[in-house]
């Protein structure tokens, strides 16, 4: 990101680092509407897996908040919105892993886990009021055509580790993170937005990013592995805290 971009908008630095990775929130505008983007800057190219985009090697991970007045536009013109966000922030699309959310990214939660030489960090933003659902029972609310999709209440998870993950381990990490997220919704008794008799398992637009480090090589992430345990603990804490932080959420269960 160039000095010109840095000097033309406000940033709030987040007091965090992981092996040289740093994070900040950018306050900028999209067609005169204030928006915010959480940007994680990686010290060198890293392997990333985005459940929305697939595998990518990049220097940045971004979670961009668009407020309700933009939701209809983003639904219909997602690529236009993304292109302008990249241009404004002077990020290279091919080297940036991007998530979109209708949740204010200032209400993010960060959780860390450490064990011997291993470190794991989870950034989570969570909205469960308008879009929570029990997958497989609630009916789908939209059909994707030509890349259009909704950005409503969403649980976005960015999971980083200093370990060097194989592609298989990165893929398995999404399962581990999803199980951890779902158990939080169960513990907090988050109900489906479409049928209050059903307990939610997620929202219809949840996404997860896994960022591999450059340390010890790990080929498996699951409940029986130490790194899998660390990831699950970090995601569990961050998801619970993010749900509590978001004033738009309606919480009926255990928030401890």
Q: Which residues pair with 121 in a beta bridge?
A: 112, 160
Q: What is the pLDDT of residue 147?
A: 52
Confidence of residue 63 (pLDDT cuts 50, 70, 90): very high
Weakest-pLDDT range from 36-45, 85-94, 187-196: 187-196
pLDDT digits (tens, 9 = 90+) for 228-240: 999 999 999 999 9
HSE-CB for 30 with a 13 A CA cutoff:
25
Q: What is the pLDDT of residue 135?
A: 52
pLDDT digits (tens, 9 = 90+) for 112-146: 999 999 999 999 998 765 565 455 544 555 444 45
Whether 45 shows a pLDDT value over 50: the answer reads: yes
Whether 17 shows a pLDDT value over 70: the answer reads: yes
| Full set of structural domains in the chain with CATH | 3-245 (3.60.70)
Work out the percent of the chain whose per-residue pLDDT is above 70. 84
Kindly give, in sequence order, each residue whose CB lies less than 8 Å from that of residue 72, ignoring residues fewer than 6 positions away.
none
pTM of this structure: 0.88
Q: What is the pLDDT of residue 9?
A: 80
Q: What is the pLDDT of residue 205?
A: 82
Distance in Å from the first CA to the final CA of the chain: 39
Q: What is the pLDDT of residue 196?
A: 84
Confidence of residue 255 (pLDDT cuts 50, 70, 90): very low
User: How confident is the model over 98-114, as a mean pLDDT?
Assistant: 94
C-alpha pair distances (Å), 148 with each of 71, 81, 133, 210: 12, 11, 20, 23
Confidence of residue 18 (pLDDT cuts 50, 70, 90): very high
Q: What is the pLDDT of residue 249?
A: 66
3-state SS string over the chain?
CCHHHHHCCEEEEEEEEECCEEEEEEEEEECCEEEEEEEEEEEEEEEEEECCCEEEEEEEEEEEECCHHHHHHHHHCHHHHHHHHHHHHCCCHHHEEEEEECCCHHHCEEEEEEECCEEEEEEEEECCCCCEECCCCCCCCCCCCCCCCCCCCCEEEEEEECCEECHHHHHHHHHHHHHHHHHHHHHCCCECCCCCCCECCEECCCEEEEECCCCCEECCCCCCCHHHHHHHHHHHHHHHHHHHHCCCCCCCCCCC
pLDDT digits (tens, 9 = 90+) for 201-219: 887 788 999 999 999 999 9
């Amino acid at each position: 990101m160039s000095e010109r971009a840095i000097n033309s908008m406000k940033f709030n630095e987040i007091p965090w680092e992981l092996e040289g990775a740093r994070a900040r929130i950018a306050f900028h505008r999209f067609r005169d509407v204030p928006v915010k983007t959480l940007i994680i800057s990686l010290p060198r190219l890293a392997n990333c897996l985005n459940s929305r985009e697939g595998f990518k090697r990049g220097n940045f991970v971004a979670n961009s908040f668009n407020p309700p007045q933009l939701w209809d536009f983003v639904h219909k013109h997602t690529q236009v919105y993304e292109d302008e966000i990249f241009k404004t922030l002077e990020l290279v699309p091919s080297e940036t892993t991007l998530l979109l959310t209708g949740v204010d990214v200032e209400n993010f939660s960060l959780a860390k886990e450490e064990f011997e030489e291993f470190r794991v960090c989870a950034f989570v933003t969570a909205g469960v009021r308008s879009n929570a659902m029990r997958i497989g029972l609630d009916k789908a609310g939209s059909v994707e055509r030509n890349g259009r999709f909704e950005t409503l209440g969403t649980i976005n998870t960015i999971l980083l580790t200093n370990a060097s993950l194989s592609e298989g381990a990165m893929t398995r990490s999404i399962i581990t993170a999803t199980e951890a997220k779902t158990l939080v919704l169960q513990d907090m008794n988050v109900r489906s937005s479409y049928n209050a008799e059903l307990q939610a398992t997620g929202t219809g637009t949840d996404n997860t990013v896994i960022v591999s480090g450059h340390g010890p090589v790990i080929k498996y992430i699951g409940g029986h592995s130490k790194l899998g345990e660390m990831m699950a603990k970090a995601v569990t804490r961050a998801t619970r805290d993010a749900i509590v932080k978001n004033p738009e959420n309606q919480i009926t269960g255990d928030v401890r």
